[in-house]
Structure 1
């Protein structure tokens, strides 16, 4: 897996360990061939898969926020297929109304309430356990 993609996945996958998340298996499949990009495929326990990608050479926070937005799409679909609430990550200010939005703020990637425009958490800190290495969730 491209090292920039692997590094950007660490905080995003850590957030999927939060109680409301769904942890994917990461498959090192380059599914697109855009110049200057790296990609992989996420697989859910319910057999749903989604390709995600980043533009290489960009600032880390930019990559993490862009990847978090795509992983959020994966989580919403995977959770819905499992019959669970698809509002991920849930906004603590508006429970069951909408998910948080991934944003880049300065040199950080954050989850923000899109209604109040209030930062809720740094991406990677939702689970309270800190980032985990994506290799623990990878399949060849």
Structure 2
């Protein structure tokens, strides 16, 4: 659980994010699952979990979806824009989504179907030139700079 949650926790530290307290491990009774609670500063929590037998990338993707749900709620309660992780191509319009690409968990703009960052490296995107990698049906990923 800690290893799969770690890259998402790194991404929560971007300026638009909010960092939870992680605690109350193993609230699930399922022996094939790992779980914990995410709590915001006001103490409101949400349980997250993964199946331990799944590949690591699948675990990260599963947690990314759950943590994104927690972050949106926590940001909304703080009166901040609740689109996390914010899409750099469409600020304040929609969050990025977690997807698998080349056996890696990545954040993708769902409108452009463009890979933004590997999960765990979102902060590095802000310092790089905005490079759009769009999927094409016959050629895989192509690049275009903005």
TM range (shorter): 0.7 to 0.9
Structure 2 residue aligned with 1:89: 85
Once the two structures are TM-superposed, the CA of residue 127 in structure 1 deviates from its matched residue by: 2.3
Map residues 105-116 of structure 1 onto 2, 5 A cutoff.
Answer: 105-116=101-112
Query: Structure 2 residue aligned with 1:56, among 45, 52, 63?
Result: 52
Contact kept, 8 Å, 1:37 with 1:53, in 2: the verdict is: yes
- Residues 126-137 of structure 1 aligned to structure 2 (within 5 Å): 126-128=122-124
- Once the 2 structures are TM-superposed, how far is the Cα of residue 75 of structure 1 from its aligned partner? 0.2
Question: Counterpart of 1:45?
Answer: 41
Answer whether contact 1:46 1:82 (CA < 8 A) is retained.
no
Contact in 2 for aligned 1:46/1:81 (Cα 8 Å): no
Higher strand share: 2
Where has structure 1 moved over 2 Å in runs of 4 or more? none
Between Structure 1 and Structure 2, how many residues are aligned? 125
Q: Relative CO higher for 1 or 2, CA cutoff 8 Å, sep ≥ 6?
A: 1
Give 5+ residue unaligned stretches, structure 2.
125-146
CA RMSD of aligned residues (A): 1.4
**Bigger Rg over Cα:** 2
